[in-house]
Amino acid sequence: MPRPPCRPYLPPEWAPQSGVMLTWPHAHGDWAGMLPEVEAVFVEIAKEVGRREKALIVCYDAAHRDHVADLLQQAGIPKDRLVLKVAPSNDAWARDHGPITVVCENEPTLLDFGFNGWGGKYPADLDNAITRRLYQDNAFGDTPLESVDFVLEGGAIDVDGSGTLLTTTACLLSPTRNPKFTQAQLEKELKERLGLNRILWLHHGHLAGDDTDSHIDTLARFCDPHTIAYVACDDKEDVHYAELKAMEEALHTFRAADDKPYRLVPLPWPQAKFNEQGDRLPATYANFLILNGAVLVPTYEDPADEAALACIKECFPDREIIGISCAPLIQQFGSLHCTAMQLPEGVLP
């Protein structure tokens, strides 16, 4: 009797990783005016990744690859921890254009979902082709790739490893991403593709300056199957207060896969940050990146930085907690987690 087909499984970010993908910033896009500052942040991220696993780094062209290789050599990152590939990009947010990897019977498969610039807000034709170009260049070894006719950004979803996905209605139900899908159809697609049992929807939560339509990785994150760290605003005069309070109340109604309440860990609220044009920037401590044995936490030269590091240490007591200054990143309305896509064990050769 033939065996039933294997059900895919989307590993949580804390599962063992073979590496992390970074799309390096370049002079052909929005980073042109502040490349030295933002490249310094990317070097720090790559250095911490390289201490624990491989860094797959996407470079704009051959000259850019040579430039990035020089930067990383100066930083002392071992060459055997670096995989530099060429694929032109619109921007540097690998979390949203990188592959989402599912596993069946310990065999990984790369899912290449569509990326349309966060609902058509920005050009994305180059970013949307990156995963396929990397695959054609053997960046992922023997790992198979499946293209999916469905728009989905990695920053829009978070999973607990027990069949639960956390997301926001503002993003996943936005009419500019998958307009032909009802919520029920969308849930069915995600459950089948990612091996889910249920989806927890947040109807509230937004950060000023965030142009992703409320990505979950700016708001609330699983730290283990029973713990959610989330952004909490304690300033009643702040424009975010009502929305984030409503989000907090919703989180209190959620139950983990075993029907027990989640352990909820509120993250500190940093002081308001603005760019030169006076736009408020989305500084969030929820945008941390989990690595093998460590968690990289964005900091913003803010009095709340140390408290944020301590909070996240409570969530990950067995991992090293490392602050990465991300003040340059939020100038383009993203932060640390947005720059990186983890690749589970078995993906990178």
**3 pLDDT above the threshold of 80:** no
Q: Which tokens belong to 139?
A: 């960046």
Label the pairing between strands 54-59 and 145-151.
unpaired
In a domain, 66, yes or no: yes
Alpha helices in the chain (DSSP H): 35-50, 62-74, 94-97, 117-120, 125-136, 169-172, 183-194, 241-253, 305-315
State the pLDDT at residue 6. 82
In a domain, 12, yes or no: no
State the pLDDT at residue 45. 98
* pLDDT tens string 128-148: 999 999 999 999 999 999 999
Q: Which tokens belong to 24?
A: 């390096």
Domain that holds residue 194: 17-344
State the pLDDT at residue 67. 98
CA 105 – CA 286 distance, rounded (Å)? 31
In a domain, 1, yes or no: no
State the pLDDT at residue 98. 98
State the pLDDT at residue 2. 62
Report the number of distinct structural domains present in the chain.
1
In a domain, 205, yes or no: yes
In a domain, 8, yes or no: no
pLDDT, averaged across the chain: 97
* pLDDT tens string 191-236: 999 999 999 999 999 999 999 999 999 999 999 999 999 999 999 9
**Quick check: helix, strand or coil at residue 275?**
coil
The secondary element (H helix, E strand) that includes residue 100 is: strand 100-104
Instruction: From residue 39, give the alpha-carbon distance in Å to each of 35, 92, 104, 274.
Output: 6, 11, 36, 21
Instruction: Calculate Rg over the CA atoms of the chain.
Output: 19
**Quick check: helix, strand or coil at residue 201?**
strand
Instruction: Report the candidate in 96, 109, 113, 143 with the shortest Cα–Cα distance to residue 11.
Output: 109
Confidence class for position 5, pLDDT limits 50, 70, 90: confident
In a domain, 170, yes or no: yes
Instruction: Report the candidate in 81, 15, 46 with the shortest Cα–Cα distance to residue 344.
Output: 15
**149 pLDDT above the threshold of 70:** yes
Label the pairing between strands 280-281 and 273-274.
antiparallel
* Cα angle 266, 336, 114; round to 5: 105
**1 pLDDT above the threshold of 60:** no
In a domain, 202, yes or no: yes
CATH number of the domain to which 254 belongs? 3.75.10.10
Sheet containing 320-325: which strands, arranged edge to edge? 289-291, 294-299, 320-325
In the block, residue with structure tokens 């498969």: 109
Instruction: Report the candidate in 10, 178, 208 with the shortest Cα–Cα distance to residue 108.
Output: 10
State the pLDDT at residue 192. 96
Confidence class for position 80, pLDDT limits 50, 70, 90: very high
In a domain, 286, yes or no: yes
Share of the chain above pLDDT 90, in %: 97
